[in-house]
Amino acid sequence: MTAALETVDVSCVFQVNQGFMKGSKPLRAVNGVSLKIPKGQVVGLVGESGCGKSTMASILLGLQEPTSGEVLYSGESAGSFDGKDIARRIQPIFQDPYSSLNPTKSIHSIVSLPLRIHNVGDPADWDRKVYDILDLVGLPRRVAQSYPSQLSGGQRQRVAIARALIMRPEVVICDEPTSALDVSVQSQILNLLQDLRQELGLTYLLISHNLAVVEHMADRVAVMYLGRIVEEADADTLFRDPRHPYTKALLGSVLTPDPSLGVPDTHLGTVFPNPIDPPLGCSFHPRCSACMDICSAQTPMPVTEGDHMTECHLYAPQEAVAV
Amino acid sequence: MSKDVILDVRNLKVDIPVSAGMLHPVRGISFSVARGETLCIVGESGCGKSLTSLALMGLLPKTATRTADKLDFLGQDIRDLKERQMAALRGVNMAMIFQEPMTSLNPAYTIGNQLIEVYRRHIDPGKAEARERAIFLLEKVGISAAASRLSQYPHQLSGGLRQRVMIAMALMCGPDVIIADEPTTALDVTIQAQILHLLADLQKEFQMGMILITHDLGIVARVADKVQVMYAGSTVEEGPCQAVFDSPLHPYTSGLLRCIPVPGKTQRGSRLGSVPGIVPNLVGDLHGCMFRNRCDHAEAACEALAGDATQLSDGHAFTCRMTPDEAAQAARQTAREVA
């Protein structure tokens, strides 16, 4: 089965200016990532800020040209599409509904913008389409005449979802869709995303640092660290049997509402490495509690067991370690 | 009182005149904090959490009025203190940590400058001693190479480091109570755990009282001694952390707890519980239970009567017309509906 969206060994390198007369250095925001998003599934992408999650989102949305590697939409290379084609297939939902909606436009105008850009169907039909999609995301029709400032955070996020869905895309990229919202609103939005997925057969890439949300929503999970995917497995396996020390640390820092447990100690240290000057060998080794000699010398190769991929020397086959 | 209570607040109210009438964002809340104790104030945005903390610090906007039956800090009534006297308390005896470490540090001054300024202004104008204390505290909050950090600017530090600097700054004058307003909301999960760990350690070491304001029930469960659940400017439930999480009684508290997915407990892909509706408008004359429009158990009686706080043993209390037994049953019933 071809994946709805796939990246093959995608890298994205930015040249970062080092200051006057000092030239520039490469920053590998995304470093050889191969990720498959099968049709109809929810793939979770987790990691700390600065690990390249959002650059991945921009690449998938066609907003950022990868330096090398290839993005495939339903098995076809991105080169054969222009921006509008990609936008019809893939739509984003961003983190902050306060800044992702134009404050000077009415909700009707915001939601109908994709229709006007792609100029699909009969303009007389557009009103009906807007009202249909507002019904679908659970907003009263009267908000069509309102402006973003008149809506609450949860309502705004629903508007953002309506705008993303009005062209009936195949894939929706949710970049931290609920982290700016209150818990009671977060659960409403997550429920809505679940319902829409079933109703419209959507495929989601869910980018989040909230592992509780990812565990609840995702079928597959990829853990990203410093531009690499260090562990990938289906959600059940990953949360039951995390292998990479970084995944373990991330899972350990989830604060479940259980008063009998204290604040976990992750032993991660404070320093997120500088991505311009990443550590040699395994990029996680300075923060790793299970660091070995080999980790600072040699970059680990991906080890796949079933469909559980881990990139860590702890799980390297024995003969490779002996060499 | 057996414990060494440092902050005692009774019936605190904040009123702000707006064009539509009088806004009542904080409507009579009471709490106390003892030395070495952590009080968590939890609630949705707009419930008055942050204004409560600003009211304590005397940092309300000029148009706002603050009233209280009692506002005792270290045994001193601080209701009618002049701004100058309040300023002497702020930073020295009570300190605050804000949510955004990106915006609460001045980008034009070095870390050292900002740390030392507090100490020189309040405690001792000598520069060397202040510098020594700054280095000592930066090391305490886990910043390596502290001495060289003093000459760095905020933009040279990561979010986690900046929040550590903010904590060090709050500790410069050895405060008795520390008010942390969403201290980890802007940070990554891994850093969040570290910062909370650090705050808890420092609090025990320096025997401070701490008021932690958050909307994250996970944080509350892990760090709080006492919990105060706020809704629409008043307290709907309060009590020892364990009691509130084990047997939430107010429909709002149990509703919030149902909203969060818990790894290992919530069925994947199942519907999460939700608290439908939005926070009511707090302008004008308010009467009855403010939660009635969003409550599954609302009755006609809720319209008129706010209900007095029902006290249980061990300090657990909730404000609802239901009796504790009815409330407990209602909470169990909604828990079943979700499952």
| pLDDT, tens digit, 9 for 90 and up, residues A269-322 | 656 677 888 888 898 988 888 888 899 888 899 999 888 999 999 988 764 544
Q: What is the rounded average pLDDT for all residues in chain A? A: 88
On whether residue A323 sits in a domain, the answer given is no
In three-state secondary structure terms, A140 is: coil
Residue B307's pLDDT band (boundaries 50, 70, 90)?
low
pLDDT digits (tens, 9 = 90+) for A236-250: 999 999 999 999 998
Nearest CA in chain B to A139: B277
- Helix (H) or strand (E) holding A320, with range, is helix A318-322
The CA distance from B32 to B157, in Å, is 36
The residue-averaged pLDDT of B124-129 equals 86
- Helix (H) or strand (E) holding B114, with range, is helix B111-122
Cβ separation A270–B196 shorter than 8 A: no
Residue B71 has a pLDDT of 93
The CA distance from A85 to A71, in Å, is 14
On whether residue A242 sits in a domain, the answer given is yes
Q: Which domain CATH number covers A107?
A: 3.40.50.300
pLDDT digits (tens, 9 = 90+) for B184-226: 887 788 888 888 988 998 898 999 999 999 988 999 999 999 9
Note whether A246 and A231 are within 8 A (CB): yes
| Separation in Å, CA of A222 to nearest CA in chain B | 17
The residue-averaged pLDDT of B222-233 equals 93
On whether residue A76 sits in a domain, the answer given is yes
On whether residue A237 sits in a domain, the answer given is yes
Residue A194's pLDDT band (boundaries 50, 70, 90)?
very high
The CA distance from A300 to A246, in Å, is 14
Name the one residue in this structure whose structure tokens are 């869910």. A206
- Give the residue from B219, B237, B211, B183 showing the smallest Cα distance to B29: B237
* Contact pairs from chain A to chain B, CB under 8 Å: 145
User: Which are the contacts of A35, defined by CB distance < 8 A and separation ≥ 6?
Assistant: A6, A7, A43, A45, A56, A222, A229, A232
Which of B140, B190, B226, B247 to mutate against chain A (most A CBs within 10 Å)?
A: B190
Note whether B272 and A187 are within 8 A (CB): yes
On whether residue A97 sits in a domain, the answer given is yes
Cβ separation A255–B159 shorter than 8 A: no
Which of A182, A209, A266 to mutate against chain B (most B CBs within 10 Å)?
A: A182
| Separation in Å, CA of B151 to nearest CA in chain A | 19
On whether residue A206 sits in a domain, the answer given is yes
Residues of B in contact with A216 (CB under 8 A): 261, 263, 266, 268-269, 272
pLDDT digits (tens, 9 = 90+) for A147-191: 999 888 889 999 999 999 999 999 999 998 888 788 888 898 999
Cβ separation B256–A256 shorter than 8 A: no
Nearest CA in chain B to A257: B218
The residue-averaged pLDDT of B286-309 equals 83
Q: What is the rounded average pLDDT for all residues in chain B? A: 88
Nearest CA in chain B to A248: B190
Q: Are strands B21-34 and A42-46 parallel, antiparallel or unpaired?
A: unpaired
On whether residue A181 sits in a domain, the answer given is yes
Among partner residues A152, A258, A263, which is closest to B197 by beta-carbon distance? A263
Residue B1 has a pLDDT of 45
Tell which phi-psi region holds residue B46, choosing left (phi > 0), alpha (psi between -120 and 50) or beta.
Answer: left
Residue A97's pLDDT band (boundaries 50, 70, 90)?
confident
Buried b vs exposed e over B109-129: b needs ≥16 C-beta within 10 Å?
ebbbebbbbbbbbbbeeeeee
| Stretch among A79-88, A150-159, A264-273, B252-261 having the lowest mean pLDDT | A264-273
Please, is A53 exposed, middle or buried when counting C-beta atoms within 10 Å of its C-beta (0-12, 13-18, 19+)? buried
Residue B158 has pLDDT above 90, yes or no: no
On whether residue A312 sits in a domain, the answer given is no
Residue A3's pLDDT band (boundaries 50, 70, 90)?
confident
In three-state secondary structure terms, A254 is: coil
Cβ separation A270–B160 shorter than 8 A: yes
Cβ separation A258–B197 shorter than 8 A: no
Residue B141 has a pLDDT of 85
The CA distance from B311 to A39, in Å, is 54
Interface check for A237 against chain B (CB to CB < 8 A): the answer is no
Interface check for B200 against chain A (CB to CB < 8 A): the answer is yes
In three-state secondary structure terms, A221 is: strand
| Separation in Å, CA of B86 to nearest CA in chain A | 33
Q: What is the total count of domains within chain A?
A: 1
Note whether B38 and B226 are within 8 A (CB): yes
The CA distance from B128 to B280, in Å, is 53
More confident residue, B285 or A309: A309
Name the one residue in this structure whose structure tokens are 């509008």. A84
Instruction: Count other Cβ atoms within 10 Å, centred on residue A166.
Output: 24
Residue B93 has a pLDDT of 92
Interface check for B78 against chain A (CB to CB < 8 A): the answer is no
Name the one residue in this structure whose structure tokens are 């201290």. B183
Please, is B63 exposed, middle or buried when counting C-beta atoms within 10 Å of its C-beta (0-12, 13-18, 19+)? exposed
Residue A269 has a pLDDT of 67
Residues of A in contact with B44 (CB under 8 A): 182-185
Residue A75 has a pLDDT of 86
The residue-averaged pLDDT of A17-38 equals 88
Residues of A in contact with B255 (CB under 8 A): 184
Interface check for A189 against chain B (CB to CB < 8 A): the answer is no
Residue A323's pLDDT band (boundaries 50, 70, 90)?
very low
Which of B199, B272, B279, B337 to mutate against chain A (most A CBs within 10 Å)?
A: B272
The CA distance from B24 to B282, in Å, is 6
Interface check for A64 against chain B (CB to CB < 8 A): the answer is no
The CA distance from A270 to A278, in Å, is 15
Residue A62 lies in domain? 5-257
Residue A317 has a pLDDT of 76
Q: Report the 3 state secondary structure along B139-184.
A: HHCCCCCHHHHCCCCHHHCCHHHHHHHHHHHHHCCCCCEEEEECCC
Domains of chain B: 21-96+177-338 (3.40.50.300)
Cβ separation A191–B272 shorter than 8 A: yes
User: Which are the contacts of A229, defined by CB distance < 8 A and separation ≥ 6?
Assistant: A33, A34, A35, A222, A223, A309, A311
Percent of chain B with pLDDT over 90: 44
pLDDT digits (tens, 9 = 90+) for A112-153: 999 999 988 888 899 999 999 999 998 999 999 999 998 888
